[in-house]
Chains A and B, each alone.
Chain A
Amino acid sequence: MLEKAIKGGSRYWVWIFCLLSVIGIGFIAYLYQFKYGLGVTGMSRDVSWGLYIGQFTFLVGVAASGVMVVLPYYLHNYKKFGRLTILGEFLAISAVIMCMLFIFVDMGQPLRVLNVILHPSPNSVMFFDMLVLSGYLILNLLIGWTVLGAERKEVPPPKWVKPIIYLSIAWAPSIHTVTAFLYAGLPGRHFWLSAIMAARFLASAFAGGPALLIILALIVRKYTKFDPGKEAIQSLGKIVTYCMIINVFFLGLEFFTAFYSQIPGHMNSFLYLYTGLEGHTKLVPVMWLSSILAVVALAMLIFPQIRKNEALLAIASISTFLSLWIDKGFGLIVGGFVPNPFERVTEYWPTLPETLITLAVWAIGFLVLTILYKIAVSVKEEVVFDKYGEKQVQTE
């Protein structure tokens, strides 16, 4: 099926070329970082995790969100998601690959990465994170490829795929719970030391991932002959709405605990992010932007008249995605390190090399996504066409 990715129109190849250029520039930036060390980023002794780990955290959520499409279809026979599941699974694969790349570029000694496998440490959450992410990647590759291959041959998928799909449904929330555990078990960081960290992660994942999937489905419908389905996209919209409400609610819970208890350790990080601390206000505009985007998104999503309009749904999805990307992919990580264990503030902002490397990893993710989607769409276009060669309309 891979050969479907090398047949494409000029628009396809221009897009691929753009991605490859971004990857090339980022690769050179990475060589610079490899030579001189992580000092070329904006990280410091106090803020020892930055954009790379933030993006990793956000993307694990996007990867886990595949379950939001797979679960209704395979567990509850929600046929409307029939044409979306492959897009969700392939998005998960692309997101997990980006996660692993972000971990790799963040390591001080990347050539020693195999030490995590050679010296297994079950006490370390990071060890489990490596295991569950690798497992999830293999699961999604196996499921996506097998089901798509079967569809191409116009036969039902083999029976052994079903239990593996059920496994992936259970596995998906676990990858994001384990990622949340990286933060929620650290005794010195009160911003992260919250029982609902994993719940927050899952809520924001199940809002942000489907939001991205909506946008991708709309793009697929616009640029190819394959239509994932109007009702499927509307169902995704409802999922994004409720999960975003839950996510904002959970954030409110955190605010309450911090500010009603008035414990400085709990309040300080929130104060730094949203009002500035001791005159340091670099992240304040960014966090308020995230909050405004969230309010705008919810205002659009809650009202069905707006949500049913696909153009407005697209805007609301973009707003949701950006809001969560800022909050989880940046604010959450930096906030945990400010103030430091000595109650001092060291600020963080990504540098140019750091940004170029981040863009390159995103470009690699989009490249993988493009190739996988091209294959999926090519297969679906052939098979899901009706015998008159017309675009499939409203099937089950």
Chain B
Amino acid sequence: MSINRREFLKVAGISTILGFGGISAVNSLRRNCVEASQVMPNPEALVAKRWAMVVDMSKFKTEEDYQRCIDACHHVHNVPNVTANPKHEVKWLWKETFEHAFVGNEDEYLSEEIKHLPFLVLCNHCDNPPCVRVCPTQATFKRKSDGIVMMDMHRCIGCRFCMAACPYGARSFNYRDPRPFISEKEENLEFPTRMKGVVEKCTLCYERLAKGLKPACVEASKGSLIFGDLEDPNSEVRKILSSRYSFRRRPELGTRPSVYYIF
């Protein structure tokens, strides 16, 4: 039997594709290791339909009040302090002045006090998050149970589309390996670090909520940050929001942010 080179290559190519395709198909049909009956949510976890935070500006008095919250967050989550290049900084929770946090409100006649008042800014865990809409792998996704905009560091391909989409500049990218910038003394051994090439941001301390604890910044704020379920009429956040004037960052964009500010 004679076969010419072209025919041979065609047969070889198709067999290879079918072979690999067949193996992957068989693998994907294999049973899972973990049955649904074997897992359950932590019994002590805090639950809500939609977590929200209120930043009570009247309770923040000193520089230390702010720094305590920021340090608590960055310490618990091994957020690196990238001193080598400010362009590569990573931050989950930080301070901005009024005119930078609430763009469009620039006014030279604004009261001096407000002009210099530091506002804590973080990921707003929007109810209609543009970052989730654009992620091509669902590495960032909105948790169905409680509305937290999560990060799956294992799946992130580092395309940074979410960073372009976020109107609040809440996301940071690991432009380099973060580990040299996490001091050994302050490392939290119970939480992972990230590696270079993935995006990170505040994840509303989902790991603490799973243990029944409030987020690190809320705990460190000693009452300046109020945390609760926006869809529970009896929660602390609802009580505050119904009694005082509150505002959010860039609400006109339709993102429905969950972080409120009150004076």
Contacts and interface: CB of A to CB of B under 8 A. Distances in A.
Q: A–B direct touch, CB within 8 Å, in complex?
A: yes
Given A126-B134, A264-B104, A346-B87, A106 B159 contact: yes
A38 interface: yes
A112 B157 contact: yes
Interface in A167-219: 182, 185-189
B161 A124 contact: yes
A116 B169 contact: no
Contacts of B165: 186-188
Interface string B26-68: 0000000000000000000000000000000000000000000
SS class, residues of chain B in contact with chain A: loop
A38 B160 CA distance: 11
Contacts of B246: none
Most chain A CB atoms below 10 A, which of B164, B253, B254: B164
Contacts of B236: none
A146 to B, nearest CB: 14
A127 B104 contact: no
A39 interface: yes
Interface residues of A, number: 45
A115 B136 CA distance: 8
Contact of B87 (A45, A110, A189): A45
Interface string B114-137: 000000000000000010111111
Contacts of A108: 156-160, 173-174, 196-199
Contacts of B157: 107-110, 112-113, 115-116
A106 B255 CA distance: 28
B167 interface: yes
Contacts of A109: 156-158, 197-198
Interface in B171-230: 172-177, 196-199
A125 interface: yes
B133 A124 contact: yes
Interface string B229-263: 00000000000000000000010011100000000
A182 B161 contact: yes
Contacts of B156: 108-109, 112
Contacts of B175: 37-39, 43-44
A341 B159 contact: no
B71 interface: no
A350 interface: no
B138 A121 contact: yes
The 8 closest A-B pairs by CB, nearest first: A108-B158, A188-B167, A108-B197, A44-B87, A39-B175, A37-B196, A341-B169, A126-B136
